[in-house]
Every structure is written in C-alpha cells, then in structure tokens.
Amino acid sequence: MAKKSWGTSDKVQEARERKNSSKKEAAEAEAKQKEEAYWSQHANPKGRKDAKREEQVTEDAYAAAVEVENTNVQEGNGVNARGLDQALEQLGIAEKAQDMHPERRAKAAWEAYYEEQLAVLKEDKPGLRLMQYKSMIFENWQRSPLNPRNQAVSKK
C-alpha cells in the first residue's frame, strides 16, 4: 500500500485518478474523431467529382431539359452580314459622336454611380463605415466604364 500523504485518503486519490483518466480518454477520442473527419473530408476530392458526374438523370428530367425551346435561333430576328462593320450597321450601333470634354459630365456621372453602388455595397458588405464605402466605390469608379474619363475619346 502506498504511503498516505497528509490529508488525503485512498478513496479520494482513486476518484481523482478515475476522473483524470476519463477526461483524458474523452479528449483523446475527440481529437481522434476530429482527425478522422478532417482526413475523410480531404481524402479524395476527385472521388466526389467523379461520383457527381456519374449521377443518373431520370427520363423525366432528361425530357424536360431536351424539350426547352431554342431561343438562339428565331426567324425574322437574324442579322445577315459578312463583316463586323455590316453587322454593326444592321444592329443600329453606329459610331456616336462623343464630346471632347468628359470632365463636364464627370460630376453628375459620379453622383449617379455613387448612389447606385452605395445601395449595392451596403447590401453586400453591411456594417462598414461610410468612408469605407466611399473609398471602395471610388476605387471601382476609377476603373468603371461608366466613368466619362475612361471612355475613349474619338480623335478627328
């Protein structure tokens, strides 16, 4: 029998050992379960793709997919042109005269762009401050095709 330490009994010592061993076993089991979950998740990513590819399509789903009307080809809506210039003419996209001073339109265009993008950004990224929204919108404005300064100026 082990030597008694002052103030502890054998029963207390055994209970502590059981408690510590059960905690240790639970921690080991949890760690093992996490590791198995990690490895099973990342084991074979190609296997999941192959399984998805091999899924069977029911006849009803196939028939529904095949019977969709082809909207790419419609009579009376076609353009009969042999070159890019002719196609643009038939579609009604002619060269538009652009003004030589885009800075005159810049302020109004910026305000319209800002109003539109602020609503979009507040929905996509809630919780930011107004200056953060403004800086994000301004960075996008610099590259935007709606910015009059980015639109090509035709040289005569």
Task: Read off the pLDDT of residues 4-58 as tens digits, 9 standing for 90 and up.
Answer: 566 778 888 888 899 899 889 999 999 999 888 888 776 665 556 666 666 777 8
pLDDT, average across residues 72-79: 66
Exposed/middle/buried for 117, CB within 10 Å: 0-12, 13-18, 19+? buried
Exposed/middle/buried for 148, CB within 10 Å: 0-12, 13-18, 19+? buried
Between 31-35, 76-80, 102-106, 142-146, the lowest mean confidence (pLDDT) is in 76-80
Cα–Cα distance list, 1 to 4, 9, 23 (Å): 9, 12, 26
- Distance CA(125)–CA(137), nearest Å, equals 12
Q: How confident is the prediction for the chain on average, in pLDDT?
A: 80
* Cβ–Cβ < 8 Å for 131, 112: no
Give pLDDT, residue 156: 46
**Which residues touch 133 (CB under 8 Å, ≥6 apart)?**
118, 121, 122, 125
pLDDT, average across residues 106-115: 91
* Cβ–Cβ < 8 Å for 101, 148: no
Joined together, the tokens standing for residue 124 give 């996509």
Give pLDDT, residue 84: 83
Highest mean pLDDT pick, 25-39, 54-68, 121-135: 121-135
Q: Please state the pTM of the whole predicted model.
A: 0.35
Backbone angles phi, psi at 61, to 5 degrees: -65, -40
Give pLDDT, residue 49: 61
